[in-house]
Structure 1
Amino acid sequence: MELLVLFFALTSFFDISFSQRYNALFNFGDSLSDTGNVVISSLPYGMTYFGRATGRASDGRLVIDFIAEGIGLPHLPPNTARNVSFHQGVNFAFIAAPALPFEFYHERRLSKGLWVNASVHQQVDRFEKLLPSVCGTPQDCKDFLSKSLVVFGEFGGNDYNTGIFGGLPVSEVRSTFVPRITQAIAEGVERLIGLGAVDLIVPSVLPVGCFPLYLTLYSSSNPEDYGPRSGCARKFNALSWYHNALLLRQLNRFRHKYPAVSIRYADYYAQVFDFALNPLKYGFKDGALRTCCGAAGMGKYNFNLRAKCDQNGSSVCPDPTTHVSWDGIHMTEAAHRIIAQGWLHGPYVNPPILSFINPH
């Protein structure tokens, strides 16, 4: 009888640890996690789950949506929403947001393609201004944030796009951009810790050399430029890998500096690269490198800048669940679901978000 009582007590504890460990979820980043701060798209964006365009750069839910569902919280409202409660969390991510401020690009005459001024520091500024309306005094907010999960990123993808699409060689982007971007992310993380955040997930950038946009725009006749098994463009993945190495170095520094804070790395890169290596393992019958919504039959990757998703000349594949890539640079709901499972249960966040033991 005592064993039975203990069993039910433990079961109840584990259920609580899953569903009530966090009272709120806060997110920062770019189009990989924007849930409506920038609404520029129309159907077929949003077709799979919402039945309408919501500002999400996918056919359905994003990784952050599945994380919210997994920890028992509602989908995050964008911070620009009106007449909405932010007491269970809010999303500060903006489509096309760079990590670095516009001044960095103005100085290099690269700001022509930038249109959303929502850098790392600006997003944290918005968070800091919003906090008193959510949790009250600075001490009350520290107590509140001690029971909240913060997902900080991904940041950097739009910065690298700006440099590369602006004509800079990858070597220059690597030496000039990567240290500044990873430093900006680190400064943002440290500011959040100062405000009271004690449980942070910091994602890597993706292997952009596996995305149809890059594979189409920068195609090469040299087979050595591609991974023999993945088919991804090596030099662009090397840039992503370097960013992630410097980001990990920054996070490890903070783990020593703030031992009471849980700072976990979310490995987008390894998980998405495995999609490219082993697409059938995940049910991606059309592989990882072909676009679902785009210019069907146009080129190897179904991607064309003159017939992008939701533009004239584009079409949607019969079954988005068979694709990783939704529109050439963003992923499908099916891919997001699998990625979120790797964060919630492991191994791509360690320890996983839904671990039994609360680290605090």
Structure 2
Amino acid sequence: MTMVSFIHVAFILFPCFLSLRAEEIKSSEACEFPALFNFGDSNSDTGCMASAFYPEVLPYGETFFHEPVGRASDGRLIIDFIAHHLGFPFLSAFINSIGTSYRHGANFAAGSSTIRRQNRTVFEGGTPFTFEIQTQQFSQFKERTGKFFTQGRKNSFRKHFPRPEEFAKAIYTFDIGQNDIAAAINNVGKEDSHAVISDIVDYFANQLRNLHGLGGRIFWIHNTGPIGCLPVAMPIHNAKTNVTPVAGYLDQNGCVNYQNDMAKEFNKKLKNIVVKLRAEFPDSSLIYVDMFSAKYEIISKANKEGFVDPSEICCGYHEDGYHLYCGNKAMINGKEIFAGSCDDPSKYISWDGVHYTEAANRWIANKIINGSFSDPPLPIAHSCRAQ
């Protein structure tokens, strides 16, 4: 090729290069989410159950908020760190009617929530706020807030709610399923767990379809964590286990294998349904986030990361076969016991045996927001680019 020919080809290709470069820059820009809507259970409940039933008591909330704020932790949850990373204020629970603003989204998550309906009352550890109810609440929220704009309400009303056109541009996050798996574990031997897990995932998919029908387009979906690694699941804290577990019952980190195996089965089927929904909704972005691996990593690296043994519980009394959960009082062996917190929650992974400390939540959030545990591997701030 002569020099003249080379220059001619380069001149022709240069605009194409600029066009490709522009597309590359455009695709690397962060998404401009106007709002965040969250659905889930106690892992992301920022005040629903506390507003609806009994408020949390100290020492819940002591680390960051210095008072109970409806979160099942000593401080912030993963959803709080996600909101901060995206530039949003803390999400208000949908039913929290005092001093709330929903301008940048709302939180429909509620403690004890499940994807499927459960035959339990609130006093039996159940909740009326199933995933189906949460999506219905969102539907009502969207419809009613839309009226503030279509009916010409004053700006004093409008400033507290998302604009109608912003629902399609918002990000929708999900962290639910752990309580469904816990219910399935409790019924091992009584029902076909494989069929139950498939049913749970189908329920989840149907609710995502409902949200898509309501305008949702960007979905950030957490799978469920290693439930067999929750300290209350471990034999060391389980009063029902009075003998040494047989070989293979526990893994190298003391987690209960069969419980984690059920979580893994749920996660595998959840990922498969997410792939199916991508084909159904080519106009949408669906990100699958492997929370199981992120949470298992902090558990397996606890000492290296500056935490105490992951089986240790910061808040509560779990000795001599007694379970007294965080913030409660009881007479045990003739002595009044208050289930208070540890001296330094930042050294613990488990806050109350079921939920994580703020320190652990921060560690996990920092791992997932950059896309390291996502499929496709996009940071959350770029998750609208998965279409």
Q: With structure 2 as the length reference, what TM-score do the two structures score?
A: 0.78
Pairing 1:134–2:145 present: yes
Larger radius of gyration between Structure 1 and Structure 2:
2
CA distance in 1, matches of 2:284, 2:367: 22
Within the candidate set 355, 358, 363, 1:330 is matched to 355
Structure 2 unpaired stretches of 5+: 1-21, 151-161, 330-336
Matched-pair identity in %:
28
Residues 17 and 356, structure 1, Cα contact 8 Å, conserved in 2: no
Within the candidate set 202, 211, 216, 2:221 is matched to 202
Pairing 1:354–2:349 present: no
Pairing 1:100–2:116 present: yes
CA distance in 1, matches of 2:342, 2:100: 35
Question: How far apart are residue 133 of structure 1 and its match?
Answer: 3.3
Residues 142 and 197, structure 1, Cα contact 8 Å, conserved in 2: no
Within the candidate set 51, 56, 70, 2:66 is matched to 51
* Paired letter, 2:170: S
Pairing 1:147–2:169 present: yes
Structure 1 residue aligned with 2:82: 67
Question: How far apart are residue 176 of structure 1 and its match?
Answer: 4.2
Structure 2 residue aligned with 1:118: 129
Question: How far apart are residue 177 of structure 1 and its match?
Answer: 2.6
Structure 1 residue aligned with 2:177: 156
* Paired letter, 1:211: L
Pairing 1:283–2:309 present: no
Pairing 1:339–2:361 present: no
Where does structure 1 differ by over 6 angstroms across 4 or more consecutive aligned residues?
none
Q: Aligned to 1:90, what secondary structure does the other structure show?
A: strand
CA distance in 2, matches of 1:78, 1:336: 19
Structure 2 residue aligned with 1:242: 265
Within the candidate set 327, 343, 351, 1:318 is matched to 343
Within the candidate set 279, 285, 288, 1:256 is matched to 279
CA distance in 1, matches of 2:170, 2:88: 11
Where do 1:297-316 residues align within 5 Å? 298=319, 304-305=322-323, 307-312=324-329, 313=337, 314-316=339-341
Q: Aligned to 2:221, what secondary structure does the other structure show?
A: strand
Question: How far apart are residue 87 of structure 1 and its match?
Answer: 2.2
Q: Aligned to 1:23, what secondary structure does the other structure show?
A: coil
Question: How far apart are residue 290 of structure 1 and its match?
Answer: 1.2
Structure 1 residue aligned with 2:38: 27
Question: How far apart are residue 280 of structure 1 and its match?
Answer: 2.6
Pairing 1:184–2:211 present: no
Residues 143 and 196, structure 1, Cα contact 8 Å, conserved in 2: no
User: CA deviation digits over 1:217-262, x for unaligned, max 9?
Assistant: 3645135244442211101001111110111111010112212211
CA distance in 2, matches of 1:213, 1:357: 38
Question: How far apart are residue 181 of structure 1 and its match?
Answer: 1.2
Within the candidate set 104, 109, 113, 1:88 is matched to 104
Structure 2 residue aligned with 1:6: none
Question: How far apart are residue 170 of structure 1 and its match?
Answer: 5.9
Residues 294 and 308, structure 1, Cα contact 8 Å, conserved in 2: yes
Question: How far apart are residue 351 of structure 1 and its match?
Answer: 1.1
Question: How far apart are residue 206 of structure 1 and its match?
Answer: 1.1
* Paired letter, 1:213: V
Question: How far apart are residue 119 of structure 1 and its match?
Answer: 1.1
Residues 67 and 344, structure 1, Cα contact 8 Å, conserved in 2: yes
Sort the Cα spacing of 1:357 and 1:191 in 2 relative to 1 into closer, same or farther, 3 A: closer
Sort the Cα spacing of 1:202 and 1:359 in 2 relative to 1 into closer, same or farther, 3 A: closer
Residues 27 and 92, structure 1, Cα contact 8 Å, conserved in 2: yes
CA distance in 2, matches of 1:357, 1:182: 23
CA distance in 2, matches of 1:64, 1:336: 9
Q: Aligned to 2:48, what secondary structure does the other structure show?
A: coil
Q: Aligned to 1:282, what secondary structure does the other structure show?
A: coil
Residues 132 and 141, structure 1, Cα contact 8 Å, conserved in 2: no
Residues 321 and 333, structure 1, Cα contact 8 Å, conserved in 2: yes
CA distance in 2, matches of 1:193, 1:97: 21
CA distance in 2, matches of 1:25, 1:198: 12
* Paired letter, 1:27: N
Structure 2 residue aligned with 1:292: 314
CA distance in 1, matches of 2:301, 2:122: 38
Residues 287 and 383, structure 2, Cα contact 8 Å, conserved in 1: no
Question: How far apart are residue 316 of structure 1 and its match?
Answer: 1.5
CA distance in 1, matches of 2:310, 2:249: 14
Residues 142 and 196, structure 1, Cα contact 8 Å, conserved in 2: no
CA distance in 2, matches of 1:33, 1:127: 16
Q: Aligned to 1:43, what secondary structure does the other structure show?
A: coil
Residues 302 and 310, structure 2, Cα contact 8 Å, conserved in 1: yes
